[in-house]
């Protein structure tokens, strides 16, 4: 038996707000021009939202309106100075991505993961935190004592097969008005216990706002940056990650599209070979469409990919097969990119 922890951050966490702004802007550019090339980065803090990165697009996007819409949706004031520092995509990169073959927008390695713990093919502890994040978002709309910022962490007791036996410590830090704290803490505990009960998991101990209070949050209490929560966006440390962030990147950026494809491959192989878990790695070189390598590992050992899989993982093929030019990326940045 061993202890192992995983974490999620809520929609109102400054880093995730920046992710959501990046992806909301991406959606708008793709809506007007499917050939948009975007790598949008956002930094926020202390009354300022700084938008930078690269965009080449025929779309005319009112950046301020999109930023304010996201801030309002998350539950923040829209009274921020918005600084637009966006440039255009490098012509050197465009040589490899805008041609007929459509090469990868960057080099790197991407991972996909699946496990048979749940019907979502994700670890139980990860699903519990995702459901909590969604429930908390609903709660803050209904009860003004709950504010947007927050995060949660599970320290679970696992057997040698990485099966979750119990939650030894459930840590949650949630921003609130600090009014009727005992009552609001009990509301949080009930939500968590109700979720865990569905998976026959008991929580032995809660740590709620361990410093004692959490009234100052969001961009007032912290700064945020796009792509700083890549473990949360992927598999919360149950699998390796390639290191590339998702949000703000159009599908030619394989950091995103190949990670989505690798996840689908992992799920498909999990079912096909009746596996307990499956981890897929795909790697690319910038400007080259075909993967350099595909590695598939599982509890039953390595699986050799066939030539068709290499064809399926070419950039243009992935974009078409996964309909990535018509996806709502803003939704993916709210609770996790792999929620089912």
* Residues annotated as catalytic (active site), given as ranges: 13, 15-16, 41, 54, 151, 214, 222-223, 228-229, 249, 253, 255
What does the chain come to in residues?
340
Q: Contact at 8 Å (CB) between 54 and 88? A: yes
Q: Contact at 8 Å (CB) between 39 and 90? A: no
With vertex at residue 20, the alpha carbon angle to CA 17 and CA 25, rounded to the nearest 5 degrees, is 130
Separation CA 173–CA 178 (nearest Å): 12
Name the DSSP class of 104. B
Residue 189's alpha-carbon distances to 43, 106, 157, in angstroms, are 33, 44, 19
DSSP E strands in 99-223: the ranges are 108-115, 146-158, 164-176, 206-208
Reference 293, options 304, 284, 301; nearest CA is: 284
Using DSSP, state whether 236 is helix, strand or coil: coil
């Amino acid at each position: 038996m061993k202890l192992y922890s995983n974490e999620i951050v809520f929609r109102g966490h400054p880093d995730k707000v920046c992710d959501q702004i990046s992806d909301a802007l991406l959606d708008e550019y793709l809506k007007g021009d499917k050939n948009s090339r975007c790598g949008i980065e956002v930094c926020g803090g202390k009354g300022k939202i700084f938008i930078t990165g690269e965009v080449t697009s025929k779309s005319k996007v009112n950046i301020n309106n999109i930023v304010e819409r996201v801030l309002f949706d998350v539950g923040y004031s829209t009274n921020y100075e918005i600084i637009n520092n966006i440039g255009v995509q490098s012509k050197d990169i465009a040589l490899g991505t805008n041609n007929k073959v459509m090469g990868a927008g960057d080099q790197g390695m991407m991972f996909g993961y699946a496990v048979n713990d749940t019907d979502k093919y994700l670890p139980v502890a990860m699903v519990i935190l995702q459901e909590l994040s969604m429930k908390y978002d609903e709660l803050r709309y209904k009860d003004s004592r709950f504010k947007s910022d927050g995060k949660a962490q599970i320290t679970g007791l696992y057997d040698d097969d990485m099966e979750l036996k119990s939650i030894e410590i459930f840590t949650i830090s949630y921003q609130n008005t600090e009014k009727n704290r005992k009552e609001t803490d009990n509301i949080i505990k009930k939500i968590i216990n109700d979720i865990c009960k569905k998976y026959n998991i008991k929580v032995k101990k809660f740590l709620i706002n361990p410093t004692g209070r959490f009234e100052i949050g969001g961009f007032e209490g912290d700064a945020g940056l796009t792509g700083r929560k890549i473990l949360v966006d992927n598999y919360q440390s149950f699998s390796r990650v390639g290191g590339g962030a998702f949000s703000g990147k159009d599908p030619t950026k394989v950091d995103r599209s190949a990670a989505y494809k690798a996840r689908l491959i992992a799920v498909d192989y999990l079912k096909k070979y009746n596996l307990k878990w499956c981890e897929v790695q795909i790697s690319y070189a910038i400007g080259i469409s075909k993967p350099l390598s595909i590695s598939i590992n599982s509890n039953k050992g390595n699986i050799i990919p066939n030539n068709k899989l290499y064809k399926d993982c070419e950039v243009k093929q992935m974009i078409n097969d996964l309909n990535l030019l018509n996806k709502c990326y803003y939704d993916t940045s709210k609770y996790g990119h792999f929620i089912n």
